[in-house]
Amino acid sequence: MRDIWLKLGCFLTGHNYTIVKNSSEASSKSVKKYLSAILIVSILWGFIGFVFSQRYLKTGIYGSAVVAIVMVIIVVQIERQIILATGKVWLARSFRLVIAVVMAIIGSVIIDQIIFKEDVEKLKISNIQEEVNKILPFKTAQLDMEINALDSLINKKDSERARLIGEVTKKPFIKGSTSQRINHKIQIRKPDGTIKDTLVAKTDVTLIDITNPKADYIPNIDQQIAGLRSQMAEKQSARITIRQDLENELKTKTGFLDELTLLFSILFSHNIALFVWVCLFIFFLAIELFVLMNKFGDVRTDYDMTIVHQMETRVKMLEKLAER
């Protein structure tokens, strides 16, 4: 079990397991100490990544789990930059300190959003009411315009329908005609006095009564009026529930910046909330600096000296080869 823990520590920190195994117990303890620090930071940021992606990115459980794993990998790679550093690394230390401060601010803010979730929700309800009061007149005016336009169009169609019905009632039938080409047999007298039968083509026209074609337009107008009245009913229903619909729409849209603004308004208006955030910030900053303090706060182990010795030996060999 100790070897598994040590192997896991070497895997995450980037140490050579063989060299650590052949080194003193101090080197093994150092690796385990780094492992503990990395695990603490990784678990914390895995949780933050999971909660953030699920609440604001809407990635679901599996997507949030992937984001959490990615966050853990990023944290491990950042910590490795310090753990595997050798020699004078003041620039790396300064850069890691800046990252620690930024990550502590982000982490404490996200955790604060979870802690003060109910307070943020209460303040959000008040802000939603203010937004609804601003948006409502414009939405109401727009719906009223659409309803009036539909009502005017329905009245126009009703007038057209009434006119057609009046015309069809007065003249249900109109005169029409049919024509037929018929050959008629006639007799003509020739100059010599004889009579001859001749066929002459004539067009016979017959007058008949047909249904007024305007009656066919009435069903189409009835369908148009029914569709317009259905649209008007929908608009009137939306007009009645417009306030509730706006409130529900605003509630379903969770904005990170909106909640962040509300959170800071809570922090700066309540000293207790600000005190909690400061404590969380210090806590996160201390955790972020675990590895940095362990790396540069302790004395060198024989593992570090072995690595440096191997490097120096290799450099000397290369220098001798270059001289030859």
Domain ranges of the chain: 2-121+256-323, 173-211
First to last CA, the chain: 50
pLDDT of residue 207: 55
Determine the pLDDT at residue 66: 92
pLDDT at 70: 92
8 A C-beta contact, residue 78 and residue 99: yes
Distances (CA, A) of 208 to 51, 171, 182: 83, 14, 19
57-75: string of b/e by CB count within 10 Å (b at 16+)?
eebeeeebbebbeebbeeb
Residue 41 CB partners (closer than 8 Å, separation 6+): 75, 79, 287, 288, 290, 291
* Under-70 pLDDT residues of the chain: 1-2, 86-89, 92, 173-212, 251, 253-256, 297-299, 324
Could you give the angle at the alpha carbon of 93 between the alpha carbons of 90 and 95, nearest 5°?
Answer: 110
* Rounded CA separation 58/26 (Å): 46
What is the predicted pLDDT for the residue at 187?
65
pTM for the whole thing?
0.59
- Stated as kind and residue range, the H or E segment containing 185 is strand 173-189
Measured between alpha carbons, how far is 67 from 71 in angstroms, rounded to an integer?
A: 6
Max CA pair span of the chain: 153
Are 183 and 201 spatial neighbours (Cβ–Cβ below 8 Å)? yes
Q: Contact 124/258 with Cβ under 8 angstroms?
A: yes
Q: For residues 179 and 249, what is the distance between their CA atoms, to the nearest angstrom? A: 69
pLDDT for the residue numbered 267: 80
Asked if 249 and 139 touch (Cβ cutoff 8 Å), the reply is: no
